[in-house]
Amino acid sequence: MGDWLTWPMIGKFARVGVWANSGGNLPRHTAVMEGMAFFFGRAPELTDPDRTLPGRPDPVLNNPRPHAVLGTPITGPWREGQKRLLIGIGCFWGAEKMYWETPGVESTSVGYGGGVTPNPTYREVCSGATNHVELVEVVYDPEQISLKELVRMALEAHDPTQGYRQGNDVGTQYRSAFYTDTEEEAEQIRQWVTEYGKQLEQAGFGAITTEVAAGQDYYLAEDEHQQYLHKVPNGYCPHHSTGVACGI
């Protein structure tokens, strides 16, 4: 098949790997773009936990600044009555913007969770060797917006049948996921996800692959990723909706 070639970091972006022919040349139509990883000839898969990166004891983002748009803290402790949900629907830049613009959402941040490596960096997560998901932490007032509405928005904003990818964004970090603080919330979301999965199958899509779990660790991403599309208004912002309304 050829050799697996890996490029180093491009600015703050992760390394990119592609299959090349035996002479080390790329296929004619191979595109290598910042912030995106393309895998030809080998599907991404989770790393054996014993082989994941060791990480570090300290956060990669110390003393995080207030939210660049909302002006609210992006770390707890949260005020009484606030709730939170961790959401993975692909690239976290566009997903975070969708939620900070939503009435009833009082803070958002981006980070990593659902994997093994403690306090990972963006580069480490994109390497596939941490098993983490790119996540948006949504802190909300349940009297203004419901958990169901947050989940409905997420399900409609991506394709939860694609496994370890969203469109051209390929890797285990792009998988569909909801992580909650309580098992009760997780069980409710599982029911909604199952219901939406049936709707997708009726529309001709494959099986839904969304993960739902309670009590997962969450690690803040580096400062440049927080509220990225406020800092870089024309930045990369993919959405991969199926176009199927979520009737939950």
Residues 103 and 208 in one domain: yes
Residues 225 and 102 in one domain: yes
> Which domain does 16 fall in, by range?
1-43
pTM of the model: 0.84
| 160 belongs to a structural domain | yes
| 27 belongs to a structural domain | yes
Q: pLDDT per residue over 30-71, tens digit each?
A: 333 334 444 455 789 999 999 999 999 999 999 999 999 999
Task: Report the pLDDT value the prediction gives residue 15, as an integer from 0 to 100.
Answer: 38
| 52 belongs to a structural domain | no
| 233 belongs to a structural domain | yes
| CATH number for the domain that contains residue 207 | 3.30.1060.10
Residue 91 is among the residues annotated as catalytic for this protein:
yes
Residues 96 and 187 in one domain: yes
Residues 18 and 70 in one domain: no
| 53 belongs to a structural domain | no
CA distances from 114 to 135, 199, 217 (A): 9, 26, 7
What are residue 214's DSSP bridge partners?
180
Alpha carbon distance 95, 89 (integer Å): 7
Residues 83 and 135 in one domain: yes
Residues 113 and 227 in one domain: yes
* Number of domains composing the chain: 2
Residues 70 and 38 in one domain: no
Q: pLDDT per residue over 175-203, tens digit each?
A: 999 999 999 999 999 999 999 999 999 99
Q: What is the mean pLDDT of the chain?
A: 88
| 72 belongs to a structural domain | yes
Residues 16 and 88 in one domain: no
| 130 belongs to a structural domain | yes
* Burial (0-12, 13-18, 19+ Cβ within 10 Å), 166: buried
Task: Report the pLDDT value the prediction gives residue 242, as an integer from 0 to 100.
Answer: 97
Residues 86 and 128 in one domain: yes
Residues 127 and 198 in one domain: yes
Write down the catalytic residue from 91, 126, 237, 246.
91
Mean pLDDT over residues 198-225, rounded? 98
Q: Bigger pLDDT: 27 or 228?
A: 228
Residues 24 and 79 in one domain: no
Q: Is-cis flag, bond preceding 77, omega within 30?
A: yes
| 50 belongs to a structural domain | no
Residues 94 and 148 in one domain: yes
Using an 8 Å Cβ cutoff, are 37 and 17 in contact?
A: yes
